[in-house]
Amino acid sequence: MQKNVPVADTATAIARYFSRAELPTQQQTLGEIVTEILNDGRTLNRKAICRRLLLRLDKAESAEQEAHFNQLIEMLIE
């Protein structure tokens, strides 16, 4: 049995779903950074990754983003 849901309710639910933007996973962030470094023709090493993370940390727009980048930096330093 199918339930008839008004279109307005469906559109609101979809908008609510997409408005909850989540931070990328640690793997996604590191993958983006590695790709940037390699595309720039630079040597891939821990220092280069940390540098990019620090740049992103400096431009972080929320406390969640700052925590995300700090966790990645700590992981690389360990």
The pLDDT assigned to 2 comes to 54
Give the CATH number for residue 47. Answer: 1.20.5.5260
62 neighbors 78 (Cβ within 8 angstroms):
no
State which residues form the domain around 46: 24-77
pLDDT value at position 56? 96
* 43 CB-contact burial (10 Å; exposed 0-12 / middle 13-18 / buried 19+): exposed
The answer to whether position 29 is within a domain reads yes
Residues of the chain with pLDDT under 70: 1-8, 13-22
Averaged confidence pLDDT in the chain: 84
In a domain, 18, yes or no: no
